[in-house]
């Protein structure tokens, strides 16, 4: 799929979010990358060969952990990995839905939800 079409799907997914969520998204960039880089963050565990593909990633400080005493370090980022999302989908419709689900999952981390809490959503 062409990157432009994938980015349009991401914009559509953002636009489809409830207004109250979009209004609470402050200083967070939603970016598309082909796939995750080889460099992992220091606090990330090593990836096992049998581990599922990483479809998206929140990079930043969750809203629930912010303090007025912190020095701003730039915008938080939500990364969506196009090739990995395409690899787990069989159709354009599935890609569109997976983009939306991955975006919602990573926004959950932005708002401070854990993996366990997100499984219940």
3-67+74-119 CATH choice from 3.30.365.10, 3.30.2010.20, 3.40.1440.10, 3.40.50.1100: 3.30.2010.20
pTM of the model: 0.82
User: What are the C-alpha distances in Å from 35 to residues 80, 81, 116?
Assistant: 8, 5, 25
Question: What is the rounded distance in angstroms from the CA atom of residue 33 to the CA atom of residue 96?
Answer: 16
- Write the pLDDT tens digit of every residue in 44-95: 665 555 567 899 999 988 888 777 777 767 789 999 999 999 999 999 999 9
DSSP state of 32: E
- Write the pLDDT tens digit of every residue in 10-43: 999 999 999 988 898 888 999 999 988 865 555 5
Residue 58 β-bridge partners: 78
């Amino acid at each position: 799929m062409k990157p432009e079409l994938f980015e349009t799907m991401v914009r559509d997914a953002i636009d489809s979010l409830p207004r109250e969520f979009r209004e609470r998204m402050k200083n967070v960039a939603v970016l598309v990358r082909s796939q995750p880089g080889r460099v992992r963050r220091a606090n990330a565990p090593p990836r096992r060969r049998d581990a599922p593909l990483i479809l998206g990633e929140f990079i930043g400080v969750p809203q629930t952990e912010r303090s007025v005493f912190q020095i701003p370090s730039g915008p938080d980022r939500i990364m969506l990995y196009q090739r990995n999302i395409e690899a787990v989908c069989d159709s354009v419709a599935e890609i569109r839905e997976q983009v939306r689900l991955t975006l919602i999952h990573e926004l959950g981390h932005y708002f401070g939800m854990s993996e366990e809490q997100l499984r219940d959503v």
